[in-house]
Amino acid sequence: MTVRHSLLGLLAQQPRYGYELRAAFTALAGGSENWNVTPAQIYTTLNRMRESGLVDIESSDDNPSSEKRKFIITPAGLEEFNRWLLTEVRDEPQQDAFYLKLMLSRDLDFVDTSRLIQIQRNGLYRDLHRITQSREKLDQRTELARIMIMDKAIMHLEADLRWLDMVESRLEEVVNQPPPEVMLRPRGRPQKNSSVSDRN
């Protein structure tokens, strides 16, 4: 939902064309290398928000081309944006793709779990090197906001690397533990209550 609400915020600043919204979002996110949105994603999101009454097209612009329409935020859109601003942002740190790889690999004889850890570590170091180099090129007097988001990314990567070290040091314990218990719900119609049947 972040792209949708960011577009609402950009429209709360001023009416914009679709291509202007994409350019403004890309600048806001710190470049397409950080967060790339396609023109199709922008226009699909705008059309859905228009159907929901959150945005509209500026009445003075009667060009039917979707690229020539200037979008404006509606009162309902402004209310939705304000609601988003005042709601805490909650990530799901426990939803981790590498963790799933790790848990699946431990019960498969043909997978080298230690190699998976090394592949992941190498990727994290590459990302850390790339972001650190990009950060060093920024000017604190004019690009402090971008430096701060890069610092956050660096801290996350460093934390992931420490976690990998911890996993690797206890990998044998993890592999030797029983797999997670699978809870299956019974299928089909529920059985009749015997006490009710006995009374009949």
Burial class (CB in 10 A: 0-12, 13-18, 19+), 21: buried
Please tell me whether residues 65 and 120 are part of one structural domain: no
Helix (H, G, I), strand (E, B) or coil at 70: strand
Number of domains in the chain: 2
Residue 40 maps to a domain: yes
User: What tens-digit pLDDT sequence spans the chain (200 residues)?
Assistant: 589 999 999 999 999 999 999 999 998 887 887 788 999 999 999 999 999 999 999 876 455 555 578 999 999 999 999 999 998 888 787 888 999 998 888 888 898 999 999 999 999 999 999 999 999 999 999 989 889 999 999 999 999 999 999 999 999 898 888 888 888 888 777 666 655 555 55
Please report whether residue 74 resides in a domain. Answer: yes
149 inside domain: yes
Q: Which residues contact 46 (CB under 8 A, 6 or more apart)?
A: 7, 18, 21, 55, 71
Is 45 a member of any domain?
yes
Domain limits for position 144 = 97-176
Q: Is residue 187 part of a domain?
A: no
Q: Which of 21, 13, 8 lies closest to 78 in space, CA to CA?
A: 8
Supply the pLDDT for residue 54: 97
Check which CATH number belongs to the domain holding 37 and give it: 1.10.10.10
182 domain residue, yes or no: no
Single residue among 59, 85, 111 that ends a domain in this structure: 85
Q: Is residue 17 situated within a structural domain?
A: yes
On whether both 61 and 123 belong to a single domain, the answer is no
Q: How high is the pLDDT of residue 65?
A: 52
The pLDDT score that the predictor gives to residue 89 is 83
